Amino acid sequence: MPPLPSALPSIAPSDYIAGLGKGLAVLECFDTERQRLNATLAAERAGLTRAAARRHLLTLAHLGYLESDGHHFWLTPKVLGLSGSYLASARLPRTVQPVLNRLGALAAFSFSAAILAGSETVVIARSSPHGAAAPLFAHGVHLGSRLPAHASSTGQVLLASLSPQALDEWLGCRTLHRLTLHTLTQPTELRACLDRVRAQDYCIAREEHELGVQAIAVPLRSSAGHTVAALNAVMPARHMTTQGLERELLPLLRDAAQESRVLL
């Protein structure tokens, strides 16, 4: 499996379909915070004019990916076909899912695997212990959930795996938004954190994304040694100390990553 891309693949201007890119940008505007959008909100989120956003919304509704009441638009189940095709055909989620299931059986926490996608990490596989309580995060974490990379354990592990040039490019075009009092919002702070993550080969993020929640993550590497994803465990911040995480969960995650490595 190839290493994480340092940047978006280059493409000749004559090969780029601008309309497709804009349509997908509109589709990606919908999330747990904005489940219904009108043309004005979609335009703001996608960086388009209101007229262009409206045309894309109407086209996506015509194709069955959106529904509308005439003013607002929302996603339909047809969108799941896109993610379903990935989960059914991609090797990575199919490989790590059994590993996550075993982790969930060994420890009563939520485990997930995530990849880096722009400014965020995307959950591609997850497991929860049987009879798990209500989700820790305000909106829960499910397949396809996106978390800001700079404020999540998986994101910091994946950013730490980037080359210096790729990390410079990543930081150069992004704002590190504050989510809690513990979020790292300065590039110098994040670089220092990533240096520690790189040196110790794991990350513990305490309440950086959401108050009351902590996570520990390790890199998932292919047999060629490339970091292709990150594995993590999530739990209430009060449930376990940093030392407890390192003692109880870090060995489990590292064993799981090693188990998966020979299959990738």
**pLDDT tens-place string over residues 65-99:** 999 999 999 999 888 777 666 666 678 888 899 99
Residue 262 structure tokens: 């020979």
Question: What per-residue confidence (pLDDT) applies to 262?
Answer: 85
Enter the DSSP assignment of 37: B
Banded pLDDT at 142 (limits 50, 70, 90) = confident
SS3 181: coil
256 has pLDDT over 70: yes
SS3 per-residue string spanning 150-211: HHCHHHHHHHHCCCHHHHHHHHHCCCCCCCCCCCCCCHHHHHHHHHHHHHHCCEEEECCCCC
The model scores a pTM over 0.85: no
Question: What per-residue confidence (pLDDT) applies to 14?
Answer: 86
Cα–Cα dist 10/13, whole Å: 9
244 has pLDDT over 60: yes
171 has pLDDT over 50: yes
143 has pLDDT over 90: no
Dihedral sign for Cα 221, 225, 228, 232, please. Answer: positive
Q: Residues of CATH 1.10.10.10 domain(s) within the chain?
A: 13-80
200 has pLDDT over 90: yes
**pLDDT tens-place string over residues 44-54:** 989 999 999 99
Q: Which CATH architecture has domain 13-80?
A: Orthogonal Bundle (1.10)
Task: Tell me the mean pLDDT in the region 153-163.
Answer: 97
Residue type, 106: L
Question: What per-residue confidence (pLDDT) applies to 26?
Answer: 92
Task: Tell me the mean pLDDT in the region 124-134.
Answer: 69
Q: Which of 13-22, 122-131, 201-210 is predicted with the least confidence, judged by mean pLDDT? A: 122-131
Give, to the nearest 10 degrees, the angle between helix 80-89 and helix 91-106.
Answer: 90
Strands 146-148 and 120-127, sheet pairing: antiparallel
Class of CATH domain 90-261: alpha beta
239 has pLDDT over 90: no
Q: Residues of CATH 3.30.450.40 domain(s) within the chain?
A: 90-261
Task: Tell me the mean pLDDT in the region 153-173.
Answer: 95
Banded pLDDT at 4 (limits 50, 70, 90) = very low
Banded pLDDT at 130 (limits 50, 70, 90) = low
Q: How many CB atoms lie within 10 A of CB 218?
A: 26
Question: What per-residue confidence (pLDDT) applies to 164?
Answer: 94
**pLDDT tens-place string over residues 105-117:** 888 888 999 999 8
Cα–Cα dist 70/145, whole Å: 28
Number of helices (H), then strands (E), belonging to the chain: the values are 10, 8
Sequence-separated (6 or more) residues with CB below 8 Å from residue 5: none
Question: What per-residue confidence (pLDDT) applies to 88?
Answer: 62
